[in-house]
């Protein structure tokens, strides 16, 4: 039995007459072919958010109109990023989404996070601040629970460890100042950036956020480890405690 036509033809190759006939049989309106053409010939904004989801679903569900399914996912999860970062079980709870479709969507989120992290790792963090913020937003803004992490840097301010310390409210149980500083010393880090997210969406710091940061700064000062900043990520943006003059 013939396999469905590839949605990703080899670079530089033209579909054969047989391929065009087969594709027309699966896509009599030519919608998939037009979508692919716009993707290949247009810029990053050539496809709308629902069309990006639709295109990925097409790779996993080749013989079905997946446009309604793409719109349903976008409406249910609220954004393109939320769809790509959704738990596979949550995706498969959507009627019409099975494991192949969930995997096609999840790989987009995995790819985005790896690309963003690779960009951060290539340059000194303090001179590529926007790349760092992009990476943190991709990785954390969608979370429905609070996550605490510490970015450990070497003397050139390059990232040597992105340590996910804890999930839960930020307090001394989740991020103990002495443990954080001793971790830096164990791996030879000279500095660090504290990061956590606010699932509520607003990145405005709480009193507890400021207090725990000050304790870690003091512990680091005693042992020669610099705390550059504490960044709070929310769906509505981010806040740097240093930029606000809070540390």
236 with 142, same domain: the answer is: yes
177 with 208, same domain: the answer is: yes
Residue 22 has pLDDT above 70, yes or no: no
Which of 19-33, 167-181, 200-214 has the least mean pLDDT?
19-33
Instruction: Express as a percent the part of the chain with pLDDT over 70.
Output: 85
165 with 234, same domain: the answer is: yes
> What is the average pLDDT score of the chain?
84
* CA distance to 70, 124, 176, per residue, from 180 (Å): 43, 21, 6
Instruction: Express as a percent the part of the chain with pLDDT over 90.
Output: 43
Structure tokens at 171: 């307090």
143 with 105, same domain: the answer is: no
Angle 49-60/31-41 helices, nearest 10 degrees?
120
178 with 80, same domain: the answer is: no
Residue 217 has pLDDT above 50, yes or no: yes
- How far the first Cα of the chain sits from its last, in Å, is 66
Look at 177 and 122; give whichever has higher pLDDT. Answer: 177
The distance of Cα 176 from the centroid of its chain, to the nearest Å, equals 26
Residues 132 and 126: their CA atoms lie apart, in Å, by 9
C-beta of residue 238 within 8 angstroms of C-beta of residue 231: yes
150 with 70, same domain: the answer is: no
pLDDT average, residue stretch 82-104:
91
The distance of Cα 104 from the centroid of its chain, to the nearest Å, equals 15
153 with 215, same domain: the answer is: yes
3 lies in some domain? no
Residues 42 and 38: their CA atoms lie apart, in Å, by 5
Residue 26 has pLDDT above 80, yes or no: no
101 with 185, same domain: the answer is: no
123 lies in some domain? no
Structural domains of the chain, count:
2
Domain that holds residue 101: 17-113
Last residue of a domain, one of 113, 141, 159: 113
103 with 140, same domain: the answer is: no
Last residue of a domain, one of 47, 79, 113: 113
Residues contacting residue 45 through CB under 8 Å, at least 6 positions apart: none
185 with 230, same domain: the answer is: yes
Residue 24 has pLDDT above 50, yes or no: no
Last residue of a domain, one of 113, 147, 163: 113
50 lies in some domain? yes
* Strand 226-234, strand 191-197: pairing: parallel
Which of 125, 171, 123 lies closest to 148, judged by CA? 171
Residues 25 and 226: their CA atoms lie apart, in Å, by 63
pLDDT average, residue stretch 52-73:
91
C-beta of residue 194 within 8 angstroms of C-beta of residue 153: no
pLDDT-based confidence at 10, cuts 50/70/90? Answer: very low
């Amino acid at each position: 039995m013939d396999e469905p036509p590839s949605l990703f033809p080899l670079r530089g190759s033209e579909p054969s007459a047989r391929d065009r006939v087969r594709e027309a049989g699966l896509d009599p309106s030519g919608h998939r072919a037009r979508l692919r053409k716009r993707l290949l010939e247009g810029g990053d904004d050539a496809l709308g958010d629902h069309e990006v989801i639709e295109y990925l679903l097409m790779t996993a569900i080749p013989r079905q109109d997946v446009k309604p399914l793409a719109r349903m996912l976008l409406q249910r999860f609220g954004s393109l990023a939320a769809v790509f970062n959704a738990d596979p079980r949550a995706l498969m709870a959507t009627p019409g989404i099975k494991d192949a479709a969930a995997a096609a969507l999840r790989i987009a989120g995995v790819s985005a996070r790896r690309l963003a992290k690779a960009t951060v790792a290539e340059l000194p963090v303090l001179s590529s601040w926007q790349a760092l913020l992009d990476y943190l937003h991709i990785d954390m803004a969608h979370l429905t629970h609070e996550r605490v992490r510490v970015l450990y840097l070497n003397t050139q301010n390059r990232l040597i460890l992105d340590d996910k310390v804890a999930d839960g409210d930020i307090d001394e149980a989740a991020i103990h100042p002495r443990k954080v500083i001793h971790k830096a010393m164990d791996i030879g880090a000279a500095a660090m950036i504290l990061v956590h997210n606010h699932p509520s969406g607003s990145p405005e710091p709480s009193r507890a956020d400021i207090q725990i940061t000050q304790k870690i700064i003091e512990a680091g000062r005693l042992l020669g480890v610099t705390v550059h900043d504490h960044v709070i990520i929310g769906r509505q943006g981010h806040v740097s405690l240093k930029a606000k003059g809070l540390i």
